[in-house]
A and B are shown apart, each in its own frame.
Chain A
Amino acid sequence: MLTEIRKHCADLLTRKQVAAVYGLRERDGHTAPYLFTRAEDLDGLTVGTKVPVTFTLRPAKKNIISAFQEKCPGQKIAVLVRGCDERGLYEVAKRGQIQVADLAIIGYACDADQARACHCPRPHPQNLKFGEKVQGPSNEAFIAKIVNMSVAEREAFWRAQFSKCIKCYGCRNSCPVCICKECWMENDAFSPTGWLPPDFPMFHFVHFYHLSDSCIECGACVDACPMDIPLNLIRKVLSKKVQEELFYTAGQDPEEKPPLASREEAKERLEKGI
C-alpha cells in the first residue's frame, strides 16, 4: 500500500495538481506530520501509525490545516487521512475553519487490529483510495462496564479515575475538534488554578459535554492521558446517546450542521427519523 501511496502523491506533486501533500514522515525512527512539497522527499512518507494529522495548534487555537489554508489561500493541498483524521477534518470544516473544497483528501483504511486497538467505530475514511475497508469493532462490551453500573457506582468509579488527573490538558490539547478560542477548562470557576486534582466533575465534564456532538471517537485524548484515565469509555457512551437521541453521527458530512448548534434541523431529523 505504501509504495502505491507514495507513487500517487509523487504524481500529484510532479503534475502540479497539488501544491503540497500533507501526511506523515518517518525520520530517525520517529513519525510526525510533515508537509511534502517535493516529490523526491516522499521516500520518507509513511502510513499505518497512530499519529494523527489533524489537531489544533496552540496557542493559535486553529486546526493545522486551517493554518495551511490561511498561509496559501486557494491552493490545493492533498491530505493523507485515516477515518478518524477525515472525521476530525469534517467537524472542523462544519465550524468554518477548513475549506474542504481546497483539499484533495486521500484516504487509506486501517486494518482490523488497528481498529480494535483504537475501539474505532469506522476505521476508514469516506474518501477511501488505498487499502481494504474493515468493519469497526462493536464497543458494546467495552462500554457495558460502566453502562451497567448503578449511578452511585459510576460516580465512585469516575471520582477515583479523575482523582488521578494531573491537569496536563493533554486530553484537550490533542483533541482535533477542540478549537474554542476561550476554553472553559481554563475557567477558574470550574477548576481553580493551582489545585490538583481539578474539581470533580466539572473540569472533565465541561470537556465531555462541550464535545458531545463533535467527538469523532479518535481516541487521541485517551492516548495523551499520562494517568491512563479511560476517557474513551465516557466518550463512547456520549456519542451513542447523541446518535440515539439526535440521530447524528459526528464527522460524516462537512455540509451537515452540528446538532447542538441547530435545533431546527435536529427537530427535522427527529420528525424524519433519520
Chain B
Amino acid sequence: MNYENVLTTCPYCGAGCNFYLQIMDGELVGVLPCKDHPVSQGKLCIKGWTANEFVTSPERLTKPLIKRDGKFVEASWDEALDAVAAKFKATRENHGPDALAVLASAKITNEENYALMKFTRAVLGTNNIDHCARL
C-alpha cells in the first residue's frame, strides 16, 4: 500500500494557497492543508477544502460541447477550436476588433494570463481584456 501527500497550489483563485493532495495507491482521496506554507498557513476556504472533488466528478466536462439547434452536443477539439476561430474572424470582419472582448482568469497562471493578453491585443487586435472577477 502507498500513501503520500503531494504539495500543490490551489487551482481556484489567485491567492496562491497551498495544500496537499492525498494520494492512496494512485488514487486522489482528499485535500490536507499545509500548516507550514507561508501563504495559507494551514487554513483554506471551502473551495480549497473540496478541490479534490471536481477531479473525478461525474459532472466534469471532459469533451468540448458545441451548441447546435439550441442544444449542446459533444465535439472534437478541432471542431470546437475551428468554430471559435470562425466566429472570432466573422465578428472582427463584420464589426471590427473592438466588438470582441476577452475575460482572463484567476484560475490560470501568470504566464497563461500573459499569453492571453498577447493574444487579445496582438492577434484579435483589441484592448478589451479584463479579469473574470469583473464579469
- Whether A associates with B in a native complex is yes
Q: Which residues of A contact B (CB under 8 A)?
A: 19-20, 22, 25, 27-35, 37, 49-51, 55, 57-60, 64, 67-68, 71-72, 166-170, 173-174, 223-226
> B20–A60 contact, CB under 8 A?
no
Contact pick for B3, options A19, A34, A58, A226, CB 8 Å: A34
Chain B residues contacting A55 (CB-CB under 8 Å) are 32
Find B5's partner among A19, A29, A33 (CB 8 Å cutoff).
A33
CB–CB A167/B46 < 8 A: yes
Closest to A33 in B: B5
CB neighbours (8 Å) of A50 from chain B are: 35
Known contacts A28-B7, A30-B7, A68-B3: A49-B35 contact under CB 8 Å:
yes
Chain B proximity of A40: nearest CB distance (Å): 15
Binary per-residue interface labels of chain B (102-121) against chain A in the complex, 1 for a CB within 8 Å, 0 otherwise: 00000000000000000000
A33 and B33 CA atoms in complex are apart in Å by: 11
Which chain B residue has the least Cβ–Cβ distance from A62?
B29
**Contact A68 B32, CB 8 Å, known A30-B7, A170-B44, A224-B43:** no
Q: Measured between C-beta atoms, what is the minimum distance from B50 to chain A in Å?
A: 8
- A37 touches which of B2, B45, B50, B53 (Cβ 8 Å): B2
Determine whether B30 belongs to the interface, using a CB cutoff of 8 Å to chain A. Answer: yes
Residues on B with beta carbons closer than 8 Å to the beta carbon of A20: 1
Query: Which A residues are in CB contact (< 8 Å) with B32?
Result: 32-33, 55
Q: Assess whether B34 is interfacial by the CB under 8 Å rule.
A: yes
B43 pairs with A225, CB closer than 8 A? yes
Bound form: Cα–Cα A239–B1 in Å: 37
Min CB distance, B14 to chain A, in Å?
A: 16
Partner of B36, one of A25, A31, A57, A58: A31
The distance in angstroms between the C-alpha atoms of A32 and B30, with both chains bound, is: 13
Chain B residues within an 8 Å CB radius of A51? 35
- Asked whether, in the complex, the Cβ of A34 is within 8 Å of the Cβ of B37, the reply is no
Task: Assess the B49–A67 pair: CB atoms within 8 A.
Answer: no
Bound form: Cα–Cα A227–B20 in Å: 21
Q: Is the CB of B30 within 8 A of A60?
A: yes
Bound complex: CA A58 to CA B21 (Å) = 11
CA distance A32 to B31 in the complex (A): 12
Task: Check A35 against B42 for contact (C-beta < 8 Å).
Answer: no
Indicate whether B22 reaches chain A with its CB closer than 8 angstroms.
yes
> Does B59 touch A at the CB level, under 8 Å?
no
Contacts of B49 in A (CB 8 A): 58, 168-170, 173
Q: A223-B35, A224-B33, A226-B43 are in contact. List 18 more A-B contacts (CB 8 A).
A: A30-B37, A32-B7, A34-B3, A35-B2, A35-B3, A50-B35, A55-B32, A57-B29, A58-B31, A59-B53, A64-B22, A169-B46, A170-B43, A170-B49, A173-B49, A224-B42, A225-B43, A226-B45
- Inter-chain CA distance A39–B83, complex, in Å, is 56
B25 sits at the interface (CB 8 A): yes
Closest Cβ–Cβ distance, residue B55 to chain A (whole Å): 12
| A67 x B44 contact (CB < 8 A) | no
| A170 and B53 alpha carbons, distance in the complex (Å) | 16
Please list 26 pairs of residues, one from A and one from B, whose beta carbons are closer than 8 Å in the complex, sorted by A's number: A25-B4, A30-B34, A32-B7, A32-B20, A32-B34, A34-B3, A34-B5, A35-B2, A35-B4, A50-B35, A55-B32, A57-B29, A57-B30, A59-B30, A59-B53, A60-B30, A64-B3, A71-B1, A71-B25, A166-B45, A168-B46, A169-B49, A174-B33, A224-B43, A226-B43, A226-B45
A173-B30 Cα distance, complex, nearest whole Å: 11
